[in-house]
Amino acid sequence: MRSPPEQEAIWANCFHPSGTFVESSKADVETSIPEQFEKIVCQYPENLALKKGTRSLTYSQLNEAANQIAREILNRHGFKSEPVALLFDHGINVIVAILAVLKAGKFYVAMDFSLSKATIQYILQSSTAALVITDSCEAGRARETIGPERDLLSLDDVDISLPANNLGLPLTADESAALIYTSGSTGNPKGVLHTHRSYVLGVLESPAHQGISSDDRLSLLHSVSFKSATSHLVFSLMGGACLLPYDIKTQGLHGFADWLRDERITRCHLPPAVFQAFADDLNNINQFPDLKRICLSGSVVTSAAFERFRRKIGGTTQLEVAMGCTEVGWATSGIAEVGYVFPKEGSPIGYPFGGKKILIVDDDGREVPQGKLGEIAVKSRYLSPGYWQDPKLTQAKFLPDPDGGPERTYLTGDLGRMLADGSLVHIGRKDLMVKIRGHGVEVEGVERKLNEHPQVKDAAVSAWDYGDGDKYLAAYIVAEGKSLPTADQLKTFLREKLPDYMIPSTIMFLDSLPLTNGKLDRKALPQPGNTRPELRTKYYIPRNEIEKCLVRIWEDLLDVHPIGIHDNFFDLGGHSLSSARVVSRVFEQYQLEIPLQSLFEAPTIAEMAAVIAEHQAKNLDESELATILDELASMSDLEAEQRASENNYTTTKKADGPS
């Protein structure tokens, strides 16, 4: 990264050759999100604001739709500041609903159906949201999830005869805008409150916003239940740009490169783990002539990720590295150009911006000398007001100005050091929170859920590195009594209580946990192996060429050996990102467009082989089809089991390999 003046020169460029900036002033910080958005509507009424697939909305259409929904909300719940829960899949409708909630003078609590039912119900109870808004097609599933006591507004229920002009409600910058839930040390999510001011300032004073023009096209890959996604949403809608949602979980990485090109995306924001998987699948450099910037944030950006950027993207595209958290929003950002040399230790995360000052402090809260390691703290008057209905935690994490000024200091729990030019290097976590595929996870929260299983006497969870900066969770189990639960039983149990990124990829069974002075010695926990775990399913070898090919793909991506044809992909440590890579590899091997959802519906080798055969059959004549079907039926499971026995295969009860 260059020096601060050179960084400013980079940010000052208008990256889209035909674009112009939306000018903003300090006074704009003291306004609400709807007021800022409505200014953009007046400037660019016919510009595309949102697009997904064949559906799109102009700024004028988006504004009118949000106004009608806002009036429906007011008709049901009146004009008062209160939380409104949103339960949507990733797409356009949830963005319309966010604007509607804000225009109605309320604040939103965003959720999606990837969360477990227990988590959704906890968030609803904690937030006290009396109204839940959802998609028309998901109304039944939403009602089943939230229960009968809350008001449910389906978008089909909105009266289309309601006026579509602006409501003009007196909204101030101090009012609550969003309640964002993040994982907490108690094992339950914790709510972080944000005002209109903290959002508007984070956008208007962000270097990223200064480069956005009305001709830019921005990707939105993150769920809006995350602070980073909402910030990028506001970046786009306050700059007159077009925002294009893309759902990695359902659309997968195969086809993502084509989507970037076809939609002429100019700015793309990715978690580092997703970027690395995406870059690994690229064959040629500089495939994206419209792509001006890739932003990476959410977890550590390694030199390996930068090397992928240099080799696979390159050209005129710039790499932005940023850091923030739910409590403070974006805090630092910087451009790493192709010739940048990474530090020997840690990850560069740029320079502070947006009315925020970065401090490096010791355990007593005193600033440490330049270059010394310490905890990263963010000082500003524009931080979150604090944790929802938890003043004790707010007081512990948000420190007041000792001189009585308006600024407060948030202790991030991250370790770092400040370089001579004022740039920041991130070293790691001070506590036990780790980043798994861009999500913050407190390992003690996972341990508590495992200890709720009746066959678990004691449990520990640790994070391990794949070797390229990505991490996975490993669980260590001491069984209650002589009856051992299987790895898939424990994962099924956890899926009912936790989101997928908190499910350990690997599970090991130990006679006892290592202790030092009566406390768990995490450093003594053994590194997981890559042997097939103990599962309820028996091991069966592949019976035909398709199954053999799939076994090779799975074993390579999951690093588990051997894999049987009836083993469940997700019980072996697979997750949404690795499943997208499986689909990409299947396309490379067979030139077949297999939907990502297929792996969720057919999560075993045998089932996936049948899906592939079915897709192949659509392009085959009857004789070729008969040959494939004969091949699939050529060996029974009994014969496969017999051959496995002849090969003296035995399972191990000690290890479950990483994904």
At 653, which amino acid appears? K
Of 28 and 395, more confident: 395
CA distance 281 to 584: 8
Residue-wise burial string across 291-328, b where 16 or more C-beta atoms lie within 10 A, e elsewhere: bbbbbbbbbbbbbbbbebbbebbeeebbbbbbbbbbbb
Which two tokens mark 356? 């925020």
pTM over 0.75: yes
As a CATH number, domain 19-211 is: 3.40.50.12780
Instruction: Give 334's Cβ-side CA count (13 Å radius).
Output: 24
- pLDDT of 92 > 90? The answer is yes
Percent of residues, the chain, with pLDDT higher than 90: 43
CA distance 153 to 160: 14
Count, residues in the chain: 659
- pLDDT of 7 > 70? The answer is no
Q: State residue 80's pLDDT score.
A: 92
Q: Residue 265 class from Cβ within 10 Å (0-12 exposed, 13-18 middle, 19+ buried)?
A: buried
Q: Give me the residues paired with residue 194 across strands.
A: 178
The full set of domain ranges for the chain reads: 19-211, 433-524, 545-646
Q: In this predicted model, what pLDDT tens digit does every residue of 46-70 receive, in sequence order?
A: 999 999 999 999 999 999 999 999 9
Instruction: Give 268's Cβ-side CA count (13 Å radius).
Output: 26
Residue-wise burial string across 580-596, b where 16 or more C-beta atoms lie within 10 A, e elsewhere: bbbbbbbbeeeebebeb
Nearest to 101 by CA among 139, 146, 66, 60: 66
CA distance 433 to 471: 12
| DSSP count for the chain of H helices, then E strands | 22, 28
At 378, which amino acid appears? V
Which two tokens mark 405? 């000024």
Q: In this predicted model, what pLDDT tens digit does every residue of 234-283 receive, in sequence order?
A: 888 888 999 999 988 788 888 899 999 999 999 999 888 788 888 888 87
Q: Residue 515 class from Cβ within 10 Å (0-12 exposed, 13-18 middle, 19+ buried)?
A: exposed
Q: What is the mean pLDDT of residues 183-188?
A: 59
Sequence-distant (6+) residues with CB within 8 A of 359 are 367, 376, 377, 378, 379, 409
- pLDDT of 642 > 60? The answer is no
CA distances from 219 to 258, 263, 349, 371 (A): 13, 9, 21, 36
Q: State residue 6's pLDDT score.
A: 58
Residues 654, 526 contacting (CB under 8 angstroms): no
Angle at CA 226, nearest 5°, toward 267 and 66? 80
Q: In this predicted model, what pLDDT tens digit does every residue of 292-320 receive, in sequence order?
A: 889 988 777 877 788 888 888 877 888 88
The Cβ of residue 490 has, within 10 Å, a number of other Cβ atoms equal to 25
Q: Give me the residues paired with residue 533 across strands.
A: none
- Model confidence at 16, pLDDT cuts 50, 70, 90, reads low
Angle at CA 299, nearest 5°, toward 502 and 259? 90
Q: What is the mean pLDDT of the chain?
A: 84
Nearest to 584 by CA among 556, 618, 542: 556
- Model confidence at 384, pLDDT cuts 50, 70, 90, reads very high
As a CATH number, domain 545-646 is: 1.10.1200.10
Q: Residue 241 class from Cβ within 10 Å (0-12 exposed, 13-18 middle, 19+ buried)?
A: buried
Q: Residue 261 class from Cβ within 10 Å (0-12 exposed, 13-18 middle, 19+ buried)?
A: middle
CA distance 330 to 116: 28
Q: State residue 529's pLDDT score.
A: 84
Percent of residues, the chain, with pLDDT higher than 70: 85
CATH fold, domain 433-524, is GMP Synthetase; Chain A, domain 3 (3.30.300)
Among the listed ranges 141-150, 510-519, 634-643, which one has the minimum average pLDDT value?
A: 634-643
User: Strands 267-270, 242-245: parallel, antiparallel or unpaired by DSSP?
Assistant: unpaired
CA distance 32 to 35: 5
Residues 144, 212 contacting (CB under 8 angstroms): no
